[in-house]
């Protein structure tokens, strides 16, 4: 955590990357609350998707009504709106969820330059002499099963420090050791670890299963079977879309024979 906070101090932007269910967004939200003293107006979350663009993120022309007439005017995107409302010395955090689902170079545009040179200014498509305050922090999350980090634009990767969020049986154990949470699945963490070891052996570490699928206030064999059937099995089918014979080797009985 110390290294993560140091990276947010400088260069000021990080990426949390890992397979589904490893708590990337949860960690991003927790870090943002810490950095902003849990003041909601100082943090914002956006989720990227294939149609998300520069106009949404930076600035763009939008139709607005002026004096009863529709005209096109320059409207700030998420980043410019956050910068406009900042005061000196006030930390603000922008969380970018599912960052690798968008065309990142198109979305960021000139901000790729400003992420590296926070003390410089540059002309945007419609604004002149814009600079990124050092107190605006960016936390991106990326699902490595959805799209490999290797496919991300190199210019972006070298501006963000990458922190991997792998599945962790220790987190699962601590979850049920604290509070009033109950787990009645025998050797839940051990089966979880074996499942991911097999997935890593057959595929790679990016195509594994996160611990949040196995977390609940009361986790029972019935809930495990339901999660497996409705959430985990569809993921495995996607992982092994070109190896259908392997899907049948992954079963709840194999990893948790006690249920």
* Structure confidence at residue 68 (pLDDT): 81
CB 108 within 8 A of CB 152: no
Task: Answer whether residue 99 shows pLDDT above 80.
Answer: yes
* Structure confidence at residue 69 (pLDDT): 84
Q: What is the mean pLDDT of residues 95-105?
A: 92
* Structure confidence at residue 148 (pLDDT): 55
Query: Is the domain 2-164 a CATH 3.40.50.300 member?
Result: yes
pLDDT digits (tens, 9 = 90+) for 42-92: 999 999 999 999 999 999 988 888 888 888 888 999 999 999 989 988 999
pLDDT digits (tens, 9 = 90+) for 133-185: 999 999 999 998 876 555 566 777 789 999 999 999 999 999 999 888 999 99
- Helix or strand holding residue 110 (H, E): none
CB 195 within 8 A of CB 256: no
Q: What is the mean pLDDT of residues 254-259?
A: 93
pTM: 0.90
Task: Answer whether residue 24 shows pLDDT above 70.
Answer: yes
- Which range (9-23, 59-73, 230-244) has the least confidence? 59-73
Length of the chain: 259
* Distance separating alpha carbons of residues 194 and 216, to the nearest angstrom: 20
* Structure confidence at residue 257 (pLDDT): 95
Q: Which residue did the predictor score with more confidence, 194 or 66?
A: 194
CB 189 within 8 A of CB 172: yes
* Distance separating alpha carbons of residues 104 and 159, to the nearest angstrom: 13
Tell me which DSSP letter residue 122 carries.
Answer: B
* Structure confidence at residue 151 (pLDDT): 57
Q: Tell me how far apart the 2 most distant CA atoms of the chain are, in Å.
A: 71
**Percent of all residues in the chain with a pLDDT value above 90, rounded to a whole number:** 77
Q: What is the mean pLDDT of residues 22-28?
A: 96
Question: Looking at the chain, which residues constitute the CATH 3.40.50.300 domain(s)?
Answer: 2-164
Task: Answer whether residue 239 shows pLDDT above 90.
Answer: yes
- Helix or strand holding residue 200 (H, E): helix 188-202
CB 189 within 8 A of CB 173: yes
- 207 pLDDT band (50/70/90 cuts)? very high
> Which long-range contacts link 156-159 to residues 24+ away (Cβ below 8 Å)?
156/104, 156/105, 156/108, 156/112, 159/11, 159/13, 159/112, 159/115, 159/116
Q: What angle do CA 234, 236, 237 make, to 5 degrees?
A: 65
The full DSSP string for 13-65 is EEEEEESTTS-HHHHHHHHHHHHTTT-GGGEEEEE--TT--HHHHTEEEEEEE
Q: What is the mean pLDDT of residues 98-104?
A: 90
pLDDT digits (tens, 9 = 90+) for 112-122: 999 999 999 99
């Amino acid at each position: 955590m110390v290294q993560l906070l140091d990276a947010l101090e400088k260069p000021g932007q990080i990426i949390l990357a890992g397979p589904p269910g490893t708590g990337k967004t949860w960690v991003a939200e927790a870090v943002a609350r810490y950095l902003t003293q849990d003041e909601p107006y100082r943090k914002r979350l956006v989720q990227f998707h294939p149609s998300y663009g520069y106009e949404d993120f930076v600035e763009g022309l939008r139709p607005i009504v002026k004096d009863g007439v529709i005209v096109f005017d320059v409207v700030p995107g998420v980043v410019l709106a956050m910068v406009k409302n900042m005061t000196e010395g006030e930390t603000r955090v922008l969380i970018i969820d599912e960052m690798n689902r968008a065309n990142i170079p198109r979305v960021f545009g000139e901000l790729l330059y400003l992420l590296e040179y926070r003390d410089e200014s540059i002309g945007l498509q419609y604004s002149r002499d814009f600079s990124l305050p050092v107190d605006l922090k960016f936390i991106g999350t990326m699902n490595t099963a959805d799209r490999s980090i290797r496919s991300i634009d190199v210019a972006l990767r070298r501006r963000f420090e990458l922190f991997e969020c792998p599945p962790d049986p220790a987190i699962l154990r601590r979850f049920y050791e604290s509070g009033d949470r109950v787990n009645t699945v025998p050797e839940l963490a051990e089966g979880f670890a074996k499942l991911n070891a097999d997935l890593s052996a057959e595929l790679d570490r990016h195509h594994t299963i996160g611990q949040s699928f196995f977390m609940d206030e009361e986790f029972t064999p019935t809930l495990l079977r339901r999660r497996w059937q409705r959430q985990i099995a569809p993921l495995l089918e996607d992982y092994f879309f070109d190896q259908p014979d392997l899907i049948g080797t992954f079963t709840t009985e194999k990893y948790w024979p006690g249920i």
